[in-house]
Amino acid sequence: MSEARREALLWVAQRASAAVLAVCVAVHLATMIYAVQGGLSAAEILGRTRGSVGWLAFYALFVVAAAVHAPLGLRAVLAEWFGWRGRACDAALAAFATIVAAAGLRAVVAVFV
């Protein structure tokens, strides 16, 4: 893949994941604020998330979007502030993305099962 195409597609990925995150963060915050209004306990929250395919899908999407978005932002910071770019940098960021996705999805599964 040409450098131009790769950079353009990464840019699309960052913008698309940002659009997903904008919705997810809003829903997440609104739900949290709503859920704790009446002094909801952790057990009660787990009671609502366990077995809920809807919440599983929502938070899985949230985690994937964050795992795509954050490393791409870091990539720009590393290139501009520290001059680190290229294959090694991209490999490190892919590893970071994998860790974010794995840790996030683990948490999503933990409140589902």
Partner 1 sequence: MSATLAVSVWRGGADGAFRDYEVPRHASQTVLDVVTWIQRERDPTLAYRFACRVGMCGSCAMTVNGAPRWTCRTHVDKVAPDGRLRIAPLANLPVIRDLVTDMRPFFDKWARARGRFEGRATRADDFARVPPDSEKRRAAEAGIECIGCGVCYAACDVVARLPEYLGPAALNRAWTLVNDVRDAAGLERLRAVAGAAGCHACHTHMSCTERCPKRLSPTAAIAGLKRAVAAAALRGEL
Token pair for 9: 């597609």
Is position 94 an interface residue for partner 1 (rule: CB under 8 A)?
no
Q: Minimum distance between the CB of residue 85 and partner 1, rounded to whole angstroms?
A: 7
SS3 111: coil
Quick one: which of 85, 91, 94, 110 contacts partner 1 (CB under 8 A)?
85
Is position 8 an interface residue for partner 1 (rule: CB under 8 A)?
yes
Closer to partner 1 by CB, 50 or 85: give it.
Answer: 85
Is position 91 an interface residue for partner 1 (rule: CB under 8 A)?
no
Token pair for 97: 């993305």
Number of other residues whose CB lies within 10 A of the CB of residue 63: 20
Residue type, 21: L
Closer to partner 1 by CB, 78 or 111: give it.
Answer: 78
Token pair for 7: 């950079």
Closer to partner 1 by CB, 84 or 112: give it.
Answer: 84
The torsion of the CA quartet 65, 67, 73, 77, rounded to 10 degrees, works out to: 170
Token pair for 98: 């994998």
End-to-end CA distance of the chain: 41
Quick one: which of 80, 91, 94, 98 contacts partner 1 (CB under 8 A)?
80
Is position 19 an interface residue for partner 1 (rule: CB under 8 A)?
no
Write out the residues near partner 1 by the rule CB under 8 A: 2-5, 7-9, 11-12, 15, 76, 79-81, 85
